[in-house]
Amino acid sequence: MLQAGRVDYTLGDWVEVDFMEKTLGSTIPFVTYPMQEDTGNKPNYISYTRNAWGKAVVDKLHKQFNDPEIIETTILPKILKWIRPVDQAEYRENYMREVYSYFRQK
């Protein structure tokens, strides 16, 4: 509907904007506004089987995610691939601020 000029706005997140820009070849300039109801970073959860394999997976994840430097050098670059280039610097700054805040509280 946006491509056809039949809608003035849409609600969505950065993944949808990125998809429209890259996949659909959208030439419409997107302007984003933070939503008041947005509570910041969303928690992520991992489900696993309660056996040796599941414990090994969780142990590996804990090792990987327990160091802010590892997060910044190995995980954040992978996340940034999903962020629009114009938003990457701000996202990086906010993400790492949250990471360091979390580790200070631990």
Other beta carbons less than 10 A from residue 71's beta carbon: 19
In this predicted model, what pLDDT tens digit does every residue of 28-42 receive, in sequence order? 667 766 666 666 656
Reported pTM: 0.53
Q: What band does 89 get if pLDDT is binned at 50, 70 and 90?
A: very high
What pLDDT, on a 0 to 100 scale, did the predictor assign at position 40? 61
pLDDT band at 96 (very low <50, low <70, confident <90, very high): very high
pLDDT of residue 72: 94
Q: Is 62 exposed, middle or buried (0-12, 13-18, 19+ CB in 10 A)?
A: exposed
